[in-house]
Structure formats: structure tokens, C-alpha cells
Amino acid sequence: MTHASTPLRPSGVATPALNALLARERERYTQRNPRSQVQATRAGAHLMFGVPLHWMNDWGTPFALQVAGAQGARLTDLDGHRLADFCLGDTGAMFGHSPRVVTEALQRQAALGLTTMLPNEDGSVVSELLAQRFGLPQWQFAMTATDANRFVLRWIRAATRRSVLLVFNGCYHGTVSDVFVDLVDGKPVQRDSLLGQVHDLTATTRVVEFNDLQALEAALAPGDVACVLAEPVMTNIGMVLPQEGFWQKAQALIQKHGAMLVMDETHTISSGPGGYARAHGLSPDAVVVGKPLGGGMPCAAYGFTAELAARAVQAKRLAPPGHSGVGTTLTANLLAMAAMRATLSQLMTEETFAPMHALAGTLAEGLRRVIAQHRMPWCVTQVGARVEFQFCPAAPRNGTEAGNAMDAELEHAIHLYLLNRKVLITPFHNMMLICPDTTAHDVQRLLQGLEAFLLECRDGMQ
């Protein structure tokens, strides 16, 4: 029972108990990771922010955990702790760290050239496999999902001769500037955290709530929308599932108003080898895949229907000679193509996904049990191999509801508590991913960690 004087946060925990736990776990982290601390201090000399990418400070740890190695579902830190990794590089390592088939392919290719700005046989094979998996006939590549999204927007704006992009509130599609427009009190507002943003994004980006067909139709009605760029399930503001029939009706509206539907499957590829769209019988005009596509190597791809591809090719033919604004020098390099060939042919298969989905189901059920036992107002959502718990009693229906359910301090406390007990989950929200090497024991360890956290939190509230 809580003291009458200690109100609970909407997430169901009391602030004093949370703060005390967080302070203790930060201290414990520092004690447990002396080598990481030395290395992090050294890195501070010449790395801005002390890390190679400033996001690496966003884990809520007193200093960045330093990696000694990663293999399968394990990440070993510099102080020798072997962590059960449910973050998996935020999906880059969804098929496990350093999968053998990929490292062997990389070794073979490394002796035969790394990058040439010319194709080899892998290009044909990879595009055939992508066409098979995703049901779209025409493909191009990028180094990151961010770039793939950026390039798709360019192609579709050129092909449709329309300028407006339509996205869902709370979306994330990488660091593509165009998408950073939020709905605030029903009005589009450019995100003010963006650095160096000099263009008014609201001029060409429209934003509506997910699952809101009326708002979608109103935003499409002017007839200037080039495409709707969306994850089939929102996964970056916590998870938001599409309501029954939403996508069928949304796509009919999108078609009616002459726009294209682009599905960004970078995270929802956790649904199976053809992503969420294939698993649920959806047929977007374009698909983007990144992160795990090269088994952890930087590469991404985007596919078009024959009709959209023909329009994109025509736009290129009609454009004056010169830079298209699509592509980067190392895109589709030989190493990346070899990695994608190995991943697509040997890892991105039904056989690989089936046990991942089953274990994710066990995790989701276990989380629901722990949450129910402790009467927390939280819910759990599973999308294939991906599981998320959110601090709201019912699954959110849109980005605003999902955003309102977030509690950054509570998230930090849970993540740090688990990390101190050798379980790693994704920062920014409560996402857990199962890879082929994750064991039932790893799942139990995670569940026991969360249970212990909730017990201590409750004790602190008494």
C-alpha cells in the first residue's frame, strides 16, 4: 500500500520509490563496471560526447557500457559480464550477433574486393530474393533505412509530381527530416529538437493520427499528397497496432486520391521473412527494409511495384542529366551485397522465424503474468519476434496515446535494473527482440528481473 501523501505516477509507481531505486542502481552500475568507466573516460578526450554517436549516451547509464564482443544473443561487456541481449543493436542484429553464414560470406567477399561501384552476381540474386519475399518486382539499395526512406521520397515525389508527404503522429523513419512534424493540439508542429533545421517542414509534411481514417481522408483530399509513409505497426513511440481493417480502408483512400503507400518494414520485419505487409496480406506500392537485412552490416533496400518503378524510371529519363539526389558512393558495395545474399538466403526464412515467434509469445505471456500479479496498469504488445510493454492499461490506438503512456524515468530505472542483472533491453522505450539464439532461460532471466524490480518498487512504496 502507498502512503496517502505519495501519489502514484500514471505509470503506477511512486516517485520517491523510483528515485531511490534509480540512485541505488546507478551506484551499482558504477561499482560493477570499472573497466567501462576507465574506457569511457579515455574516450571523452577526443570523441564529442565521449561516444562515437551521441545517442550512445541515451541508455540512462552513468557512463557508456563498453563492448568487448557480441555473439548470438550474448553481449560481453568490458568488465566480463555476459548479458542476455534483447536490444540486438535495436534490430540490426535481429538474426543474432555475427551470424556464422554472414561472417563466412563476408570473409569470402573480403578477399575479392570490398567496394567497386560496379555490380556482381549478388545484385541479381539479392533482388530475386527480395522480390520473392516481399512480392514487389523492382529493387534498389541504400546503406541505411534512413537513406532508403529518403530516396523513396525523392523517387515518389518525382514520379507523382506531387510534393506533400503524409505521416502518422509519433512516427520515426530514421533521421529523414521530412517526417519530424508532430500533431500538437491538432496542429502540425515541426519538432524543435531538430538541429540545424532551416526549412519549414510543415509546408510539405502533413500529419494525422494513426487509425484515424477520417483525418487521413481529409489530409488526402487536396490531391497533393505524393505518398503516405508509415510503419504497418507503429514501433517507435512504443507500439501501436492497426485496428482491424484499418490498412485495407486506408489503402483504398490513398489509391482514391492518387497517392502511394510506402510501408517502412525496418522494425516490423520481425513479423516474418516478407515483413508485416506480406504476413497480413497488404500490398503497398513501396516497401523499405533496413537494419537486419545484412545480418548487422549496414545495408538497406527498397522495392516498388512495376507501375511505380516505371513511373520512377520515366521521371529519371525526363530529368536533365546530372545529380539525381539518390544514392551514396558505397551503396550496394560488394561486402554489403554479400551480407544481404547470405542473410536473405539463409536467415530470413520461415524456418528461422518460427521459433523466434514462439519464444516471443512466451515472453509476452510471461510479461502479462508478471504485470497482472503486481496489478500494474501496463499492457504488452507482440509483433512477431518483437515484444513491448507500455505503461498504460490498454493498447494505445495512436501516437498521442502511446506518447502519453511513456515515463522516461521509470524506463531508465527498469533498464538499468535489468542491465545490472545481466539483461539488456532497448533504450528509448521498452522493446525486446528475440533472435534465433535467444534461449528460454534468457527469457526467464528477463521476467525474473522485471518481477524483482516490481517487488522492490512496491516495497519502496510501503
Ligand X SMILES: Cc1ncc(COP(=O)(O)O)c(C=O)c1O
Which residues contact ligand X (rule: CB under 6 A)? Answer: 90, 144-146, 149, 172-174, 231, 236, 264, 266-267, 290-291
**C-beta closer to ligand X: residue 302 or 391:** 302
**C-beta closer to ligand X: residue 147 or 209:** 147
* Shortest CB 345 distance to ligand X, Å: 22
**C-beta closer to ligand X: residue 11 or 144:** 144
For residue 88, what is its C-alpha cell? 540486438
**C-beta closer to ligand X: residue 40 or 145:** 145
**C-beta closer to ligand X: residue 297 or 443:** 297
Bridge partners (DSSP) of residue 383 are 386
- The residue number whose beta carbon is nearest to ligand X equals 174
**C-beta closer to ligand X: residue 273 or 366:** 273
**C-beta closer to ligand X: residue 291 or 415:** 291
Between the two ends of the chain, the Cα-to-Cα distance in Å is 5
**C-beta closer to ligand X: residue 224 or 264:** 264
* Shortest CB 231 distance to ligand X, Å: 5
* Shortest CB 90 distance to ligand X, Å: 6
* Shortest CB 174 distance to ligand X, Å: 3
**C-beta closer to ligand X: residue 66 or 149:** 149
Separation of CA 287 from chain center: 15
* Shortest CB 336 distance to ligand X, Å: 13
* Shortest CB 233 distance to ligand X, Å: 10
* Shortest CB 173 distance to ligand X, Å: 4
* Shortest CB 291 distance to ligand X, Å: 5
Contact by Cβ (8 Å): 149, 176: yes
* Shortest CB 180 distance to ligand X, Å: 13
* Shortest CB 428 distance to ligand X, Å: 9
**C-beta closer to ligand X: residue 236 or 381:** 236
Could you write out the three-class secondary structure of the chain?
CCCCCCCECCCCCEHHHHHHHHHHHHHHHHHHCHHHHHHHHHHCCCCHHHCCCHHHHCCCCCCCCCEEEEEECEEEECCCCEEEECCHHHHCCCCCECCHHHHHHHHHHHCCCCCCCCCCHHHHHHHHHHHHHHCCCEEEEECCHHHHHHHHHHHHHHHHCCCEEEEECCCCCCCCHHHCEEEECCEEEECCCCCCCCCCHHHCEEEECCCCHHHHHHHHCCCCEEEEEECCCECCCCCECCCCCHHHHHHHHHHHCCCEEEEECCCHHHHCCCHHHHHCCCCCCEEEECHHHHECECCEEEEECHHHHHHHHHHHHHCCCCCCCCCCCCCCCHHHHHHHHHHHHHCCCHHHHHHHHHHHHHHHHHHHHHHHHCCCCCEEEEECCEEEEECCCCCCCCHHHHHHCCCHHHHHHHHHHHHCCCEECCCCCCEEECCCCCCHHHHHHHHHHHHHHHHHHHHHCC
